[in-house]
Amino acid sequence: MASEMMEALSELCEEKHLDQLELLDNLEKSLAKSYTDIMHLDWGARVTIDKQTGKIYVYKLEPIDDSWNDETGEFEDFEEIDVTPKDTSRFAAQQAKAEINNMVRKRAREDIYEEFSGRIGDIITGTVIQTTPSFTIVKIRDGVEAELPYFDTRRFPGERNERPFGEHYAHNQRIKAIIVDVRDPNSTQPPVRGERQRPPIVISRTHPNLIAKLFELEVPEVYEKTVVVNSVARDPGIRSKVAVSSNDEYLDAVGACVGPQGSRVRAVVSELRGERVDVVLWDDDPAKRVANALSPAKVSKALVDPNPDSNYCTVIVPDDQLSLAIGKEGQNARLAARLTGYHIDIKNETLAKNIIAEAHAKQHEEAPTLTDEEADTEKAHRCEYVGPNGVRCRNMARPGSHYCGIHEKLMNAEVSDDPDSLI
């Protein structure tokens, strides 16, 4: 019977592509732990399995008095006493079944990790097969599943929320998503809650790259790299901005992404369940880039701080465009800032004129009495611009000028009626 069990075990290992010696080693450790609990052994047990006959031997461990180590506070040597029960076959079969299932599951996760760990950032299409209050299981293909988590991150800080606002999924529904993580089954990091029972692939529908990949699927010019998606900013499920540019001077990048009668961008919006997508033109000139990012609002002027470390831009818009430029709850300005990487300060024309007039008036007011040395230092280093709240700019003035880089442009600028004048 025992030899027949070993033959069956060998055939099963060959069928499941498992290492028989590793399986037997894991089985011995599992049986040792189980018999320690069953037989109430104080110092544990050791189990061996005869590789030829399959016979199981259980040894009780008893410490040897002379082997006590004062430094470690443990016994180093143990005497092994044979306490093998009469019938171990049934119990061993149950343990073997559990170990085989664990090894098959681990091998499958290792294969998935090896295949998909290099595909993080790729788009996949899957079918919804199960939905829970905290995550959705998506079938990519036979034997390969992914998890789309949407945990309440306030209750579970270590979890993810990768579902856009307002989205819900039905059984057998096909969805597209981005691979954002593949869990390593051999990782030494402690697993998150329930990770062993959840699929190893984690996907997302909130990641900005999802929009770039969807445009790559819908727009041949993007797939061929003639049109480049330079930047994406999202409020998932609500609104997104996409900045594109063309490597062909005769090709309209925005028109290519929008498509005939908006067919291409409509396909992207449909996949995003109605999320509004604004396609704007990317420009190497930061001022024009910021002005384009604030679309659909019209911009009169955009003044960018010449200091590359500040990433600050002052934008002047017509009075009737101010609310449109800021957007509902600041959404348009917030997305434009993410898209361009600039901190954007939006002012209407009336306020800009008042600031300039007040600043010119401040110039003619009597300055506080300073010593000659303080006056020279102040003149050499301090910008003379005074804001509407009466606070003077703390930046240093540019050489040969009374103002820093950004306020020099602002002071010398006159608001133009030409919306294309951005300099």
Sorted by sequence, the CB contacts under 8 Å of residue 160 that are 6+ apart come out as 149, 150, 151, 153, 202, 204
Which residue did the predictor score with more confidence, 218 or 394? 218
Helix (H) or strand (E) holding 48: strand 45-49
Tell me which of 250 and 16 has the higher pLDDT: 250
pLDDT band at 376 (very low <50, low <70, confident <90, very high): low
Beta bridge partners of 227: 246
- According to DSSP, the β-strands at 78-82 and 144-149 are unpaired
Percent with pLDDT over 90 in the chain: 40
The pLDDT score that the predictor gives to residue 232 is 96
Q: Is the pLDDT of residue 193 over 90?
A: no
- Rounded CA-CA distance 147/160 in Å is 11
Cα–Cα separations (whole angstroms), residue 128 to 17, 132, 194, 201? 30, 11, 20, 14
Give yes or no for residue 1 having a pLDDT over 50.
Answer: no
Radius of gyration of the chain (CA): 34
- Confidence at residue 421, expressed as pLDDT on a 0 to 100 scale: 44
**306 pLDDT higher than 60:** yes
Q: How many CA atoms lie within 13 A of 265 on its CB side?
A: 20
Report the chain's mean pLDDT, rounded to a whole number: 83
- Give the length of the chain: 423
Q: Which helix (H) or strand (E) covers residue 56, if one does? A: strand 56-63
Backbone φ and ψ of 348, nearest 5°? -85, 170
pLDDT band (50, 70, 90) for residue 189: low
Q: Give the per-residue pLDDT at 360.
A: 59
Residue partners of 215: CB distance under 8 A and separation at least 6: 222, 229, 242, 244, 257, 264, 268
What is the pLDDT, as a whole number, of residue 37? 83
Secondary structure of residue 196 in the 3-state scheme: helix
Query: What would the two tokens of residue 236 be?
Result: 């998932």
Residue-wise pLDDT for 91-141, tens only, equals: 777 777 777 788 788 888 888 889 898 999 999 999 999 999 889 999 999
Q: Has residue 38 got a pLDDT over 70?
A: yes
In this prediction, residue 368 carries a pLDDT of 54
Complete domains list, the chain, with CATH: 2-112 (3.30.1480.10), 120-185+197-204 (2.40.50.140), 286-423 (3.30.300.20)
Most confidently modeled range among 123-137, 185-199, 295-309: 123-137
Tokens of 64: 């040897």
- With contact defined as beta carbons under 8 Å apart, do 247 and 225 qualify? yes
Query: 35: buried, middle or exposed (CB in 10 Å: 19+, 13-18, 0-12)?
Result: buried
CA 38 – CA 309 distance, rounded (Å): 68
Decide which of 87 and 242 is more confident: 242
Q: How confident is the model at residue 21 (pLDDT cuts 50, 70, 90)?
A: confident
Residue 422 has pLDDT above 50, yes or no: no
Beta strands in 287-419 (DSSP E): 301-304, 312-317, 343-348
Helix, strand, coil percent content, the chain, rounded in steps of 5:
40, 25, 35
Burial of 319 (0-12, 13-18, 19+ CB in 10 A): exposed
For 125-182, how does the pLDDT look when each residue is reduced to its tens digit (9 = 90+)? 999 999 998 899 999 998 899 999 999 888 888 788 999 988 999 999 999 999 999 9
- pLDDT tens-digit series, residues 240-293: 999 999 999 899 999 999 999 999 999 999 999 999 999 999 999 999 999 999
Which residue did the predictor score with more confidence, 18 or 365?
Answer: 18
| pLDDT of 367 higher than 70 | no
Q: What pLDDT score does 34 carry?
A: 83
Task: Report the predicted TM-score, pTM, of the whole model to 2 decimal places.
Answer: 0.70
Which range is least confidently modeled, 213-222, 356-365, 393-402?
A: 356-365
* HSE-CB of 352 using CA atoms within 13 angstroms: 25
Asked whether 202 and 162 are in contact (CB, 8 A), the reply is: yes
Average pLDDT (405-420) is: 60
pLDDT-wise least confident of 107-116, 219-228, 342-351, 374-383:
374-383
Write down the H helix ranges in 259-371: 263-271, 286-293, 322-326, 331-340, 349-364
Residues 308-341: tens digit of each pLDDT: 778 888 899 998 999 999 999 999 999 999 999 9
